[in-house]
Structure 1
Amino acid sequence: MKLLKTFIAVLPLALLFTGACKKSSKPAPDPTPVVVDPGNGGATGPITAPTDPSVAATQGFFLDDWQGKTFTKPATVDAAKPTASTSITVTADFSQVVSKVSKYLFGNNINPFTGQYTDAGTVTNITNLSPNIIRAPGGSLSDIYFWDLPAYGKPADVPDHPLKPDGSVDTNTGYWSGNVNDSWSLSLSNYYSLLQKTNTTGIITVNYAYARYGTSNDPVAAAAHLAAQWVRYDKGKTKYWEVGNECYGNWEACYRIDVSKNKNGQPAIITGDLYGKHFKVFADSMRKAAADIGATIKIGAVLHESADNSNPTIVANWNPGALGQIGDKADFFIVHNYYTNYNENSNAITILNTAPASSKTMMDYVKGAIQTAGVPQKPVALTEWNIFSSGSKQQISNIAGVHAVMVLGEIIKDQYGQASRWDLANSWSTTPVGDDHGLFSIGQPDAPDFTPRPAFYYLYYFQKYFGDRMISSSVTGSSDIVSYASSFNSGEAGVVLVNKSTTDQVVNINFKNYYTGSNYYYYTLKGGTDNGEFSGKVLVNGNGPAIAYGGPSNYKTIAASSTGTSGGIKVSVPARGVVFLVADKK
């Protein structure tokens, strides 16, 4: 309602009362057409006020605590408007709301093997990033994670090691404790502490694999009880819980078990049907635990993101089997996507083009699988995402940051409820060099540990300069410019512009159904000239890093470029870069 009032407040007084006091026998006049003023990039005539669409079933309760955002004008420095003519125009219609923006779309993942996260500088950077939700205890590691285990202990009812996909013993894999306090590990208590320090909530993945490789008489009950005990220990701090991680994949410890050690008749290879049966046991136990402590929790079930049944590493027909058993017992559905082909030495444009194509295809596939199974649609959470591209330091490059911007824009457009990028920190690879998904460096030779990588800066400015609602936008004159427009509850209009091409592009911006104020403010992010297409640097309004990698340490206080709207809103978007822009309201 606040946004509607913003528009009503600026309408001419006569318009507010036309037809409101008495009926008229005269036919109503045709609506006055909206006029877009080329002089300031906004409307001059009457405007159509926005109406929020219904909350999509794929967003659901992730929007329950949605709040409007107030734009805070940053420090500014005057910037000249581009003088070059251009045929490229972005039109954003303030009256057409695509979706409210879930604050849980900006999440990240944390790995227990990346330290205790007690360093003040790291905590400050994560706080500034404002992910709002951090997933733990880390992907596949959740398969072997025992939250209550004494440091370096092993449960009595598990084999010494899980099995590899071929059935041999994986002697390199043991078990993990939530109570390791060494500097290289993250204890469960410090995970909770980090959430508190950074004003972030959690999403926890419980150990489903224990239900498979456990050697007790009823390993499913034992694993579900362990998960329920974690819910009790958590005491309501965590609302969102996942049962298992990528359970369809042969890289997971739940995939193959030693049937000679299993005592409840499970098959060697997992199926979707089996996971669905087990999921219901977990959900019942965890909900009972939540009720015991007076907490409300939401429990997610694992689905596969595509119809990749021909892949020998994926359990065929996972979704039909799992959904057929789960029915309406899950609160949300979980998918993961690493967008590019596995270990492909992808070029930059290949990487960037995956964001819109894969995000929509994934959502359409999951919705179709749910509909085919006759199961109610529930919110969809993308709890891991990144790129798999390898060989040219793609994962730690400026391009990874531009891709991250596009993923955020697309998943807002496609109405996902939650998303968490993989991950805050990971590990440095030497073969190939630079294959590292971490948002912060660890073990990187040319950067101190926990140096923010380029993607950090793109995610930071997206959060600051994207409003609480996505509004409709379109681009004419170029297929290389991508736009994501938004509005703030405080009345401002914004647009994020991505340039996929290898040359700078000048862009005009028009806001329909919006009275533009006197100025617009923007940040321009682009890569450096190192490492070909995949620069390890990012420049923010011309400010770069003090070392040969990363971005400016003073990112929080860099002044925005400020330009008057008289004569139109116009910016130059750098090659393979992004502009984050907000225009004043009138």
Structure 2
Amino acid sequence: MPLPHRPARSPRTGRPRPLARAATVLAAAAALLTPLATTGPASAEPRAATTADATVRVNTQAALGRLSDVARGVNAAIWDAHMNDPEVAALMKAADVGAMRYPGGSYADIYHWETHTAPGGYVAPGTGFDAFMGTVRATGAQPILIANYGSGTPEEAAGWVRYANVTKDYDAKYWEIGNEIYGNGHYGSGWEHDEHEDKSPREYARQVRAYAKAMKAVDPTIKIGAVLTTPGHWPDGVVGEGDAGDWNHTVLSQVTDVIDFVSVHWYAGGADTTAEAAMTRLTRLPGELREVRNQLDRYAGADSPRIGIALTEINTNTGGARLTARPNALFAADAFMTALENGVFTVDWWNTHNGPGQITTVDGETDYGDMGMLSSGSCTGDVCQPPPNTPFHPYYGMKMTSRLGSAGDMMVATASSAQDVSAHAVHRRDGRLSVLLINKNADAARTVDLDYAGFVPSAAAPQVTRYARGDTDITQVTDDGTSASRVTVPPYGMLTVTLTPRAGTGPAASDAAAPGTPRLEAVTDTTARLSWEGAQGAARYLVQEREGAHTRLVGETTGTSVTLRNLPAGSTHTVNVLAADASGRLSAPSTPLTFTTGTPPDAPCAVTYHRDTSWGNGFVATVTVRNLSDSPITGWTVDWDWPTDRQSVSSGWNATFHQTGRHVRVTAPENAGPLAPDGGSTTSFGFVGSNDGPNPEPTVFRLNGTICSGG
């Protein structure tokens, strides 16, 4: 008999969200589990067009990495009475979900697995660990488990590993240490339960080492994850009282040798809570993820590629608006693929079920303000959701990404000429190419011309699946006029187009296998030495640099290493290696490597950049300049370029500042004396800066046009 309805604190907002009592799913629920519907055209007819609205380029020789077996994931919470309903496993299996995170956001830091209790929170019946694992196995997924940091111990976590992997043989691979621990009050805002007297990042790092030691003593094969803040999101850049640095830099400086991945969360946020605004903010995610990797590179060095990035929570916002409506389906599909293409190995939606919030009308439909993928069947006032486990639109956004490819398939670069058309592509292991097109325009269809590099489509009609107005599931369509070169996407709709290669073309026609992932053996200010594992059937290797959806040849060799020369100092490069067989036919590309060159060690000047303080969207920095040449310098300018277009100088002192685009020029004040030679004196200036998103440091400084070394 189900328990009476009880309110439960939402781990995302702290506000009460009702959890539904157990309810019977509609008899029609079986229809919801249909993997692929075959209904007719969407209600909004695509318009004919003689001129395309956009061009999308797909380059199968520009690899972005392979889809992992845990690429698509969802969160599951112990306060969710429907967490383990049989319909959940069936729906998630139909969407090729490979990861399920437990026991649910902030509840992880009050949850004791052995007693299945969460003091201060509500635990729904039937949500214990073994019941959860039943759903995981029925889905064909893997668990991502959050060890209790806030009120637990390393010994308790080790006991959970023993029960999961020794007693029950669940083979639970991924274990996070706590959830959003930076929200424990150390920076002034405290939503995360943490009973440690010392709540600093330094103590968290110390405890991560203790947890990792205890847990890996039980099962050395598990992977341990540490919690980081997302660059550009609070409290990134904030330095707490008594700390030497912010959260990420403090934690990573102490744990990279004992962790296997880091966990970050991403919510679009912002004053504008519309899904349209969220999709715009999604353009910031690649830069933010790149900064996570930069931080790993800084502290893990050559070991950095071993440490993965998990995006274990994502949604549009926590404000409760436009969460179940159609635009959030577009956001979900775009967000999953954007994150995966930018180095994340798993993306886990918040949440499976969550509960209704603000009720609005969006695109002619009721939006329940619910951050779940599936309905919990609850009500806000007299407005009730559909029956439990009815999919909301974001579920279909995630499901659409499963039509692109599965574990082991290669994501490849795309570029769209239109802001309201997003594109993603996957080159499958069987040679087929799938392209996902997302039309974010609510009012008009978009006709898209497709352009290919490294792929020649056959004359066969492409397979097309669609999710648009009028569709109740991912829908297979035929005879809609789609060809390999032109596609029309309905308004607020998505299409996945799957093409077969022309016979005798593509990697399948080559006798050479794909090379191994390149490794960075050494790097200077102008050179980079790369090596890779050889490929069977290879006569030579081509090293190609990716620039958007274009590639250019930068190296060629018959061996398995190459030195790239004449690279700009402080520049970032992403390369793939392809093998050519004796006939010159190319293999599939390797997974990519991204690296950054340094600055010259024997430069005639040195510049030190120091961020003195930061508060999330602003900072104070000091720049110190030394003249290392043998002649004094009278009158000087210092130039640099910001790594992102959302960094700027607001005001400064001891110099004159001017910024154009990303470029900053600092000029000596009129009364400045000469810079003494041989490092005999230094000059410093400071400024207040602003940043909207991540705040990476400039990589190259020039004194009077000459590149300087780091201080």
TM-score by length of 2: 0.56
Aligned to 2:274: 347
Question: How far 1:439 sits from its partner (Å)?
Answer: 0.2
| 2:109 maps to amino acid | D
Gaps of 5+ in 1: 1-71, 155-160, 162-172, 212-219, 258-265, 527-538, 544-551
Question: Aligned pair 1:499/2:439, yes or no?
Answer: yes
| 1:448 maps to amino acid | P
Aligned to 1:124: 90
Aligned to 1:237: 171
Alignment partners' CA distance in 2, 1:330 and 1:373: 12
Which moves more between the two structures, 275-284 or 375-384?
A: 375-384
Question: Aligned pair 1:194/2:135, yes or no?
Answer: yes
Structure 2 counterparts to residues 30-49 of structure 1, below 5 A: none
Alignment partners' CA distance in 2, 1:386 and 1:125: 19
From 558, 572, 579, the counterpart of 2:488: 572
From 86, 90, 115, the counterpart of 2:81: 115
* Contact kept? 1:86, 1:507, Cα under 8 Å: no
Alignment partners' CA distance in 1, 2:234 and 2:72: 30
| 1:441 maps to amino acid | S
Aligned to 1:303: 228
* Percent identical: 21
Question: How far 1:81 sits from its partner (Å)?
Answer: 9.0
- Count of aligned positions: 438
From 412, 433, 451, the counterpart of 1:510: 451
Question: Aligned pair 1:428/2:356, yes or no?
Answer: yes
| 2:398 maps to amino acid | L
CA separation of 1:75 and 1:450: change in aligned 2, threshold 3 A:
closer
| 2:456 maps to amino acid | Y
From 241, 247, 260, the counterpart of 1:331: 260
Across the aligned residues of Structure 1 and Structure 2, the Cα RMSD in angstroms comes to 3.2
Structure 2 counterparts to residues 282-431 of structure 1, below 5 A: 282-291=211-220, 296-308=221-233, 317-341=246-270, 344-357=271-284, 359-373=285-299, 376-377=303-304, 378-388=307-317, 390=319, 393-429=321-357
| 1:382 maps to amino acid | L
Q: Which has the higher contact order (CA 8 A, sep 6+)?
A: 1
* Contact kept? 1:248, 1:255, Cα under 8 Å: no
CA separation of 1:308 and 1:573: change in aligned 2, threshold 3 A:
closer
From 545, 557, 561, the counterpart of 2:478: 561
* Contact kept? 1:345, 1:390, Cα under 8 Å: no
1:180-225 CA distance string (max 9 Å, x none): 7x3xx512121011111111111110111124xxxxxxxx455455
Aligned to 1:26: none
When Rg is computed on C-alpha atoms for both structures, the one with the higher figure is: 2
Question: How far 1:319 sits from its partner (Å)?
Answer: 1.2
Which moves more between the two structures, 313-322 or 347-356?
A: 313-322
* Contact kept? 1:210, 1:223, Cα under 8 Å: no
| 1:289 maps to amino acid | V
1:551-573 CA distance string (max 9 Å, x none): x2xx36x433346777x632222
From 465, 468, 472, the counterpart of 1:523: 465
CA separation of 1:285 and 1:424: change in aligned 2, threshold 3 A:
same
Alignment partners' CA distance in 1, 2:111 and 2:252: 26
From 386, 389, 395, the counterpart of 1:456: 395
1:79-121 CA distance string (max 9 Å, x none): 9996411242212123332322223221111111222545443
Higher strand share: 2
Alignment partners' CA distance in 1, 2:482 and 2:237: 57
* Contact kept? 2:273, 2:317, Cα under 8 Å: no
1:57-95 CA distance string (max 9 Å, x none): xxxxxxxxxxxxxxx999798999964112422121233
* Contact kept? 1:396, 1:453, Cα under 8 Å: yes
SS of 1:112 mapped into structure 2: coil
Alignment partners' CA distance in 1, 2:170 and 2:324: 36
| 1:301 maps to amino acid | A
Alignment partners' CA distance in 2, 1:225 and 1:98: 36
TM-score by length of 1: 0.68
Alignment partners' CA distance in 2, 1:459 and 1:309: 27
| 2:282 maps to amino acid | A
* Contact kept? 1:142, 1:206, Cα under 8 Å: yes
Alignment partners' CA distance in 1, 2:154 and 2:98: 33
| 1:472 maps to amino acid | A
